[in-house]
Structure 1
Amino acid sequence: MARRRNSVTIRDVAEDAGVSLQTVSRVINDEPNVRPQMRNRVQSSIDKLGYVPSIAAQRMSGSRSYLILAINDRERTLADWRERQGTDWVDQMLLGGTLTCQKHGYRMIVELVDTHADHVERELGATVAALQPDGVILTPPHSENPQITRLLAERNIPFARIGSVEEGPGIRLTMSDAEAAHAATSRLIELGHRTIAMIGGPTNYSLSGWRIDGWKQAMEEHDLPTDGLCERGDFGFASGAQAARKLLDRHPDLTAIIGSSDQMTLAALEVLRDRGMDVPKDISLISFDNTPIVRFTQPPFTAVDQPIAETVSIAVEHLINAAKAPPVRNVIDVPAQLVERASTGPAPQSR
């Protein structure tokens, strides 16, 4: 009776090929110190038996773990999951990271870490020691936490910093936050809007400042005012509602709002409806993130689509190649796109 494919072990391959377990491991890991004749013999046994290498088999050589570790913010991620708000940051991370890892015979593991905890070094240190990842992906705000980046650098673990441009160790990646905010603002100006407000994100995320900078630059290029037209939130719904109320109280003539997250922009929509304002007839809205929920709002939101999956995929590629490629010095910027839907239209005076 033929052996089931998933029951074939590295030991079976070694016995069939008449070689040691270490030799099979070196072939699986594509290491250079294997004679071509021996490599062909082992590969023939792998093909004949239908052997699929496991992580344990790949790790036998001791040089690589074949694991990429992605670190995400515990507090925010758990809040999003528990409240089921429709955010898909982790989903997009998994989409880009998992597929790219699989292409190279790797696996990606996501861990949640509280970036503000006093014990962050101990917690992350224990995780790294247990998993021994070949690379680590840091997402905001972890990517700008010196405790975390210092720990990884001291342990010589390659890592990627998404949403960080500060000099220092690690591969730096951004998603065109300033450029995307500039493009969104410029599009509203093309539609005749002159009083355009910005609901920015929290100060502990550099990308929040970049988006405000992009909005401000576009406004200044057209000699439009920005004073009193920016309020910050924490990316959450309640803070977005508070910011929208302040902006509307201060500027009753407001004709457009850009929100630095879908949740804050959804809150702004609710505030506008409470005040009897129609979107986009009276005021236009643009959000950041382009999570699934904004396609089903009424009206569907024009949104900046963040290339999370593509960015994580690029990070994984660089981490896997880190051992044989020179370190990446420049910031890798992955372009975002503005997806236009029904929440934007001509400014009221332009109709």
Structure 2
Amino acid sequence: MSRLDRARDATMADVAQLAGVSRMTVSRVINDGAKVREETRQAVLAAIRELNFEPNQTARNLVMAGELRIGVVYSNPSAAFMSDFLIGVFEEATSAGARLILVRGEDGHAPSTRQLRELLGAGVHGVVLAPPLGESAAACDILRAANLPVAVVAGGKPQTDAINVRIDDRQASYAMARHLLNLGHRRIGFITGNPDQTASAVRLEGARAAIAQVEEAELIVAQGAFTYASGLSAAEQLLDADPPPTAIFASNDDMAAAAVSVAHRRHLDVPGDLTVVGFDDTTVATTLWPPLTTVRQPVRQMAAVALDRLLRALRSAEPSVETFADYVLDHALVERQSTAPPQHVMPSAKVDKRSSHA
């Protein structure tokens, strides 16, 4: 097969590689970017001719008109998390004058290939991926093949070829576990998230790092999936242990709410008989009794920053190192009424104060 025959499926990445420039530079040349040097522009045009590359004319016209279409792809089992996420992208899109096209998968799974190809056919210029889709190989492969810039929100592990906006999950989980230790808890139950998501393992790692600093402390782990239903079965498993934990740390607020429900069903007082803490600080944390002590993950801000950085990348003549980077936002430990010291604390048990971070 000749190079010309192969070129019929050429992508913007192929053009960028042949011309020795970035994909963003190729995009700027296609859209008559004035800030591209003449020598660079000629190299890109030569690569386009050699590869017989045909850019999306609809997308080009939209950029020239100043309108940017952004795909927002999501599939998260937590309605509270997704509510905050969507509010964040909607508010940013409104202020930035961008048009959003939403695509939803089911039950934490990526949308179908057909749905994603329809999104590409709508002439989107970039895509924001809500968790857990930043770790979906199928979705990411399709978007990479289309040479679209991608912003990943709350991915457990930053991607080198995307805009990443997240918190330090390990440090946040470590801080919460230390908080429980400082209250006097030594037998702590931990409900993990979906095993397919990196954030689940990272949060468990943070909690274990804190527990390891106290010789007599113990972490009992039960598998969850970031859903309320999974939190119910995990909490039952933890409270059936002999002896049961005096505190349960759930990897998100939905599962923490489930743990509170199980405690109430067993006639356990929260926090008198059982301390329960969560992660995210979604609306769930303040709509149950008692309100949850939790890790505040600024979901709305993360979504807004992701869209802002994506739009900046699309509108810049030359992408900077800062544009495609790993943006780690601040988290916070929010104390409410779901935590208390255990009823029976060994007076000799002390937290190792020499280490204040993971």
Q: TM-score, normalised by structure 2?
A: 0.72
Aligned counterpart, 2:166: 174
Change (3 A) 1:333 1:221: same
Which runs of 5 or more structure 1 residues have no equivalent in the other structure?
A: 1-28, 34-55, 81-86
- Change in Cα spacing, 1:318 to 1:99, as seen in structure 2 (3 Å) is same
Distance 1:136 1:60 in 2: 16
Select which of 289, 293, 310 maps to 1:298.
289
Q: Does 1:326 align with 2:351?
A: no
1:108 and 1:61 map into 2 onto residues whose CA distance is 14
Percent of pairs with identical residues: 29
Secondary structure in structure 1 of the residue aligned to 2:240: helix
SS of corresponding position for 2:71: strand
**Equivalent in 217, 240, 250 of residue 249 of structure 1:** 240
Residue equivalent to 2:8: none
Q: Which residue of 2 aligns with 1:218?
A: 210
> Per the alignment, in what secondary structure is the counterpart of residue 346 of structure 1?
coil
Aligned residue in 1 for 2:176: 184
1:60-97, Cα deviation, whole Å (9 max, x unpaired): 56476412221001xx55xx6xxxxxx32232223222
Give a deviation string over 1:187-244, Cα, whole Å, max 9, x none: 11111111111011110111111111111111112234446x0111122222212111
Equivalenced residues, count: 286
Kindly report structure 1 stretches of 4+ aligned residues shifted beyond 6 Å.
none
Give, as a single letter, the amino acid of the residue that structure 2 aligns with 1:137.
V
SS in 2 for 1:88: helix
1:144 and 2:135 correspond: yes
1:88 aligned onto 2:68: no
Kept after mapping to 2: 8 A contact 1:176/1:333 = yes
CA change 1:188–1:153 in 2 (3 A) is same
Provide the residue aligned with 2:261 in structure 1. 270
Query: Deviation of residue 291 (structure 1)?
Result: 2.2
Alignment of 1:55-66 (within 5 A): 62=64, 65-66=67-68
In 2, the alpha carbon distance for the partners of 1:61 and 1:293 equals 40
Deviations 1:136-182 (A, max 9, x none): 11122211112221221222211012214254421122222222211
Equivalent residues in 2 for 1:24-173, closer than 5 Å: 62=64, 65-73=67-75, 76=76, 87-114=79-106, 116=109, 120-130=112-122, 132-162=123-153, 163-173=155-165
Q: Take 1:166 and 1:300, find their aligned partners in 2: how far apart are those partners?
A: 32
**Residue 251 of structure 1: how far off its partner (Å):** 3.7
Determine the structure 1 residue equivalent to 2:343: 348
Q: Secondary structure at the match of 2:339?
A: coil
2:333 counterpart residue number: 338
- By how many angstroms is 1:107 displaced? 2.5
What is the one-letter code of the residue matched to 2:173? A
Deviations 1:312-350 (A, max 9, x none): 111112111114232545422122222111000122124
What is the one-letter code of the residue matched to 2:251? Answer: S
The alignment yields a C-alpha RMSD, in angstroms, of: 2.7
The answer (yes or no) to whether the contact 1:196–1:257 under 8 Å persists in 2 is yes
Return the alpha-carbon distance in structure 2 between the equivalents of residues 194 and 148 of structure 1: 42
| Counterparts of 1:69 and 1:63, CA distance in 2 | 18
Asked whether the equivalents of residues 257 and 284 of structure 2 are also in contact (C-alpha less than 8 Å), the reply is: no
Matches of 1:196 and 1:339 in 2, distance apart? 19
Match of 2:190 in 1: 198
Q: TM-score, normalised by structure 1?
A: 0.74
CA contact under 8 A between 1:200 and 1:231: conserved in structure 2?
yes
Q: Is the 8 A contact 2:62 2:68 kept in 1?
A: no
The corresponding residue for 1:12 is none
Which residue of the other structure, out of 315, 318, 325, is the alignment partner of 2:306?
315
Q: RCO (CA 8 Å, sep 6+): is it higher in 1 or 2?
A: 2
- Would the aligned equivalents of 1:71 and 1:139 in 2 still touch at CA under 8 Å? yes
Q: Is the 8 A contact 1:287 1:304 kept in 2?
A: yes
Give 1:289's match in structure 2, choosing from 260, 265, 280. Answer: 280
